A and B are shown apart, each in its own frame.
Chain A
Amino acid sequence: MTVLSDRQQLGYIASQAADARVNVELETEGMTLNIGPQHPATHGTLRIIVRLDGEQVVWAEPVCGYMHRGYEKLTEVRTFPQVTTLVNRIDWLGSFANEVPFILAAEQLMDIEAPPRAQWIRTILFELSRIANITLFLGDLGVQMGAVTPTFIAFRDREYVLNLIEGVTGGRFHPNFDRIGGLKDDLPKGWIDECRQVMKRLRGFCEEIEDLLFGNEILQARMRGVGVIPAEIALQYGLSGPNLRGSGVDYDLRRDQDLPMAWKEVDWKVWTHPDGDSWARCWVRLQETREATKIVDQLLDGLPAGPIMAKVPRIIKVPAGEAWVSTENPLGEMGYYVISKGDLGPFRVKIRSASFNNISVVPWVLKGLYVPDIITVLASLYFILGDIDR
């Protein structure tokens, strides 16, 4: 140890004192920052209250309910075929995918199964809603990260998918096309060829977005290692879909359960990423879009002929019982717990929506992050307000 002179010692003490004084002066007061319910960075009316220490989040709390429409109560006064109109509006970017689990639950209670062609077309439309949904997510991700160009590309290419959905169902956002026992209509003439071309185009879009966004250094710097959710936490909070697979859990309801749908007939891969950060979640979504185009292509190749509607009674009375059916929707696990008492309508429907669980992890994951990271994490968790509030 070097011996300090008196002068040096005095200087050291003075500097320590100065540091202490500065520290006292710079001691930050807690600040509460309210984001939303109307804010450009929150798509929809999600309000988040964060308490900051400097720029660091010490406490965060999402406030939901600004868009609660009481669908669980409303289903109790509707008939079974009328409920699809309601559930269309839960995740409005992937509407058709919302109808499927409810219809499957009703079919399970009635002990009927849609004919193979209807199952395949259902699966095709399901994957098309996934593509339409995640395409917009990828564009929106750019906007939230401060890059505007990807949005235009995404909106442009999503239009083709919406046109496809419109071509079959007549509705761009709310198809209301699924029926108990099958589908409303068959595919229109020439649709299959058009669909193949669009799928090819969408694969091009994925390449483009991968270069543009995922190859961008700024985006990587902002997303890698930010908002890490370990697998254990993800499971505890019931995260599902790409948020769960982005944490390295290999769980996909399309593959892991036995539903009367056509996913098990085709060859595709479940993508996971071990990192669990914002980057991983977005990357998994990109891969899933690509995988969905492959699923659609294979389904179009093997589309069976036959009827699209099973024999169902003219007036649908669902036998008493309980059924739980969930599917892997664009946002994650979407399920309906349907209780019927043999009436025209359900006795109770519990709607398990993906975003509700996905957003409930926000207070945990935001703790300790900085203000700009809030937007990154919210963007990567990807929620639809209608899917939280129902």
Chain B
Amino acid sequence: MSDAGTDEATEATEAKTEATATTPDTAEEASPKDEAREALLGEITSALGDGVVESYLMPGTDLWIRVATDSWADVGRALHGRGFTFFSFLSGIDWMPSPYGRGEDDPTAEAPVRETETKQGYAGGETRFQVFARLVDLDRRLGVTIKADVPDDTMTVGSWVTIFAGANWHEREAHEMFGINFDGHPDLRNLYLPGDFEGHPLRKDFPLLARMIKPWPGIVDVEPLPTEDEAPPNGETAPSEGVLHAPADESAVTAAEQTPDTQAQQEQQAESSEAEPSDTGDTA
């Protein structure tokens, strides 16, 4: 929630990204799978040439490749020809931070200052919108996430329909939800929304009206985040449930469970009432 924390975390990731991008050999324990991904990355890079703008490899986990906008359709065709036959999904991302926050604000308080800088994720980017897709090579059992920038002015990338027929619906969805156009798509109608719907719901500046009218009721009892000093020491076991709404201590649990009338009485017998829930818990 705090802006400082978000900035730190994002910066940390960016530093990690750069480190991995510049020196991919720093992975200390390279398992065979990582070698496979590195080989895969090398193969794709050599096949696509200038098409690959940036890549990010997380050893043992996944591979991200950002390609040039103009070569989006060619990249799909090239990867399909190189064994990436399974089409998983295609969608868009809006990297602009939401001007509305997450609907957790106190409506009576002054509006908080929000982050306004657009920061792209793994494999970088320059534009607010990106398209991304997931393809899987069934022989090697490896998948790759392909990203491309969507130019802010034309909002157009090439279509994959002729390569992966299943991209048809995915591109229609991305078109109505983000306003991204796909050059070469045969029928770019709305898939879910009514034909005359105005706006693109998954854009960050599209307000979630339910939250505009009334803040999310589940968010009201969020306690302030503990600072580093207050955080429980590592040896302490974490509560198994209600992590977000976990009350500060045992007495808060008892207070919440009691009705106001009985509360005063039971506060006098605090010890017995604290023992009670644990007894029933064991027998239940």
Contacts and interface: CB of A to CB of B under 8 A. Distances in A.
Given A77-B103, A238-B89, A335-B89, A256 B218 contact: no
A65 B86 contact: no
A126 B194 CA distance: 36
Nearest to B122: A322
B69 interface: no
Given A238-B89, A326-B88, A342 B9 contact: yes
A235 B87 contact: yes
B72 interface: no
A345 interface: yes
B134 A236 contact: no
A357 B166 contact: yes
A68 B237 CA distance: 40
Contacts of B64: 322
A350 B6 contact: no
B168 interface: yes
Nearest to A389: B192
B88 A333 contact: yes
A184 interface: yes
Interface in B11-28: 12-13
Nearest to A231: B85
Contacts of B5: 317, 342
B267 interface: no
B98 A76 contact: yes
Contacts of A308: 240
Contacts of B243: 81, 179-180, 312, 314-316
B238 A348 contact: no
Given A81-B244, A314-B243, A238 B61 contact: no
Interface stretch (B47-55, B225-233, B256-264): B225-233
25 contacts: A68-B193, A73-B206, A73-B208, A74-B208, A77-B102, A77-B211, A179-B241, A232-B85, A237-B87, A238-B87, A308-B240, A309-B237, A309-B238, A319-B12, A320-B12, A321-B13, A322-B122, A322-B145, A324-B62, A324-B145, A326-B88, A337-B134, A343-B6, A352-B88, A360-B166
B13 A236 contact: no
Interface in B170-212: 177, 190-193, 201-202, 206, 208, 211
Nearest to A258: B33
B9 to A, nearest CB: 3
Given A320-B13, A342-B10, A344-B102, A315 B226 contact: yes
Contacts of B211: 77
A371 to B, nearest CB: 24
A111 to B, nearest CB: 10
Interface in A214-249: 232-233, 235-239, 249
B31 to A, nearest CB: 9
A341 B10 contact: yes
B1 interface: yes
Contact of A360 (B121, B169, B206, B232): B169
Contacts of B237: 309, 311
B138 A249 contact: yes
Interface residues of B, number: 65
Nearest to A390: B192
Interface string A318-347: 011111101000000101010101111100
A317 B9 CA distance: 10
Nearest to A257: B141
B246 interface: yes
Contact of B244 (A79, A350, A389): A79
B274 interface: no
Contacts of A309: 237-238, 240
B156 to A, nearest CB: 21
A190 interface: no
Interface string A198-209: 000000000000
A236 B165 contact: yes
Contacts of B201: 70, 73
A172 to B, nearest CB: 19
Interface in B77-122: 85-89, 91, 93-94, 97-98, 102-104, 119, 121-122
A264 to B, nearest CB: 13
B169 A356 contact: yes
Contacts of B164: 236-238
Given A64-B191, A320-B9, A322-B122, A335 B88 contact: yes
Q: Which of B169, B201, B246 has the largest count of A CB atoms less than 10 A from its CB?
A: B169
B234 interface: yes
Given A238-B87, A314-B232, A361-B166, A324 B122 contact: no
A300 B218 CA distance: 37
Q: Which of A233, A323, A324, A364 has the largest count of B CB atoms less than 10 A from its CB?
A: A324
Given A76-B98, A317-B225, 8 more contacts: A64-B191, A65-B193, A183-B240, A185-B240, A236-B87, A313-B231, A320-B6, A320-B12
